[in-house]
A and B are shown apart, each in its own frame.
Chain A
Amino acid sequence: MALTGSPYVLFLVTVILLAAALQRRMVPGLMLLASLLFYAWGDLTKLPILVFIILSAYFGGIDLGKTDDEEKAGIKGKTRAKRKTRDKGKTRERSRLWLWLAVTFLPLLLFKYYGALGFGKLGWGLLPATLFPPLGISFYTFQATAYLIDVYRRDATPEKSLARVALFLSFFPLVLAGPIERSGHLMPQLRLFEGSWKKESDLVGGCYLILKGLLIKLVFADNFAGFVDRVYASPGTQSPANALMASYLYSAQIYCDFYGYTLIALGSAALFGIRLVNNFEHPYFALSIQQFWQRWHISLTTWLRDYVYFSLGGLRKPVNRYRNTFITMLVCGVWHGAGLQFLLWGALHGLALMLDRLYQNATAGFLPRIRPALRPLGALLTFQFVTLAWVLFRADNLSVAWIMIRKITSAVQAPGVLDQPSWVFYARLGCAFVLFEALDYWIDLQTLFRRCPAPLKAVWIVAIYCALYFAPLKGMKFVYFQF
Chain B
Amino acid sequence: MPEEPLFARHKSFLLAVFVALVACYLIDYEIYSGQWFLEHFGYGTQEGQIVRKLQWSDRVAQVADVIAFGSSYTRSGLSSAPFLEKGLVPFNFAVSAGGPVYAYYALDKIAPVLARRSTKPVLLMELSLNTLGLDAAEQPGAGWSEYQHVFAVARSRSSIARHFLLLQENFQQYSESSEFLAAALWPSSTYRAYGRVLGSYPPSAFLDFLTRARKDGYFYGYEDTGGFAPLYDTGSPLLDYYFVPLPLERFVPAKVAFLKLFIERALQLGARVVLYSAPSQSGYYMSFERLTEQLESEYPQIQVIRHQDYGLTSQDFDPSGHLNIWGSDHFAAWLIENLRLTGDKQRLDQNIEFAFEKVALPPVASWEFSGTEATPKNSSPYQLVWTPQPGKPTVAISPWIPVTANRQYSLEFSALSRVGNFVVQMEASGPAPAPVSYTMTVADVREHPGEIRYFLAITPNSAQIRIRISYQRPGPEAGSGSIRLEKLYGRR
Contacts and interface: CB of A to CB of B under 8 A. Distances in A.
Nearest to B13: A204
A466 B27 contact: yes
Interface residues of B, number: 39
A419 B274 CA distance: 49
Given A455-B19, A465-B24, A7 B3 contact: no
B24 A454 contact: no
Contacts of A86: none
B3 A198 contact: yes
Given A198-B3, A457-B16, A462 B199 contact: no
Contacts of B10: 203-204
A458 B14 CA distance: 10
A207 B13 CA distance: 10
Nearest to A199: B4
A332 B139 CA distance: 34
B141 interface: yes
Interface in B155-204: 176-179, 181-182, 185, 188-193, 195-200
| Chain A interface helix/strand/loop/mixed | helix
Interface string B17-49: 101110110010000000000000000000000
A473 B192 contact: yes
A410 interface: no
Nearest to B172: A7
A424 B200 contact: yes
Contacts of A473: 179, 190, 192-193
B432 interface: no
A411 interface: no
A7 B16 contact: no
A5 B168 CA distance: 14
B247 to A, nearest CB: 24
A218 to B, nearest CB: 9
Given A6-B182, A454-B12, A465 B3 contact: no
Interface string A199-214: 1010110010000000
Nearest to A1: B178
Contacts of A199: 4
B15 interface: yes
B5 interface: yes
Contacts of A198: 3-6
A121 to B, nearest CB: 26
A337 to B, nearest CB: 22
A7 B178 contact: yes
Nearest to B4: A198
Nearest to B186: A465
A458 B141 contact: no
Contacts of B12: 454
A204 B12 CA distance: 10
A280 B222 CA distance: 52
Best-buried of A196, A465, A469 by chain B (most CB within 10 Å): A469
B6 A422 contact: no
Nearest to A10: B181
A461 B3 contact: no
B7 interface: yes
A462 B232 CA distance: 48
A475 interface: yes
Contacts of B141: 474
Contact of A458 (B19, B182, B189, B197): B19
Interface in A441-483: 454-455, 457-459, 461-462, 465-466, 468-475
Interface in A180-226: 196, 198-199, 201, 203-204, 207, 223, 226
B27 A462 contact: yes
Contacts of A462: 20, 23-24, 27
A102 to B, nearest CB: 36
Interface string A417-434: 000001011001100000
A275 interface: no
Contacts of A226: 196
A24 interface: yes
B199 A6 contact: no
B187 to A, nearest CB: 12
Interface residues of A, number: 40
B5 A223 contact: no
A2 interface: yes
Contacts of B198: 470
Nearest to B184: A6
A201 B13 CA distance: 13
Nearest to B15: A454
A453 to B, nearest CB: 8
Contact of B6 (A10, A201, A461): A201
A462 B21 CA distance: 8
Contacts of A4: 178
A199 B54 CA distance: 54
A366 B4 CA distance: 60
Contacts of A6: 178, 181-182, 185
Contact of B192 (A24, A203, A424, A471): A471
A223 B182 CA distance: 18
A20 interface: yes
Contacts of B6: 16, 20, 198, 201, 203
A472 B12 CA distance: 33
Contacts of B178: 2, 4-7, 475
> Quick one: which of B14, B15, B182, B188 has the most chain A CB within 10 A?
B182
A203 B17 CA distance: 11
A201 B181 CA distance: 27
Nearest to A5: B178
Contacts of A471: 192, 195
Nearest to A4: B178
A330 B185 CA distance: 47
B199 A422 contact: yes
Nearest to B25: A465
A105 to B, nearest CB: 31
Contacts of A455: 16, 19
Interface in A276-305: none
30 contacts: A7-B177, A16-B6, A20-B7, A198-B4, A199-B4, A203-B9, A203-B10, A203-B13, A207-B17, A422-B197, A428-B199, A428-B200, A454-B12, A454-B15, A455-B19, A457-B13, A458-B20, A461-B20, A461-B24, A462-B20, A462-B23, A465-B24, A469-B189, A469-B195, A470-B192, A471-B192, A472-B196, A473-B193, A474-B141, A475-B178
In the A-B complex, list the 3 residue pairs whose CB atoms are closest, starting with the nearest. Answer: A5-B178, A461-B20, A425-B199
Given A6-B181, A7-B177, 18 more contacts: A4-B178, A5-B181, A6-B178, A7-B178, A20-B5, A20-B7, A24-B3, A196-B3, A198-B3, A203-B6, A422-B196, A428-B200, A454-B12, A458-B19, A458-B23, A459-B20, A462-B24, A465-B20
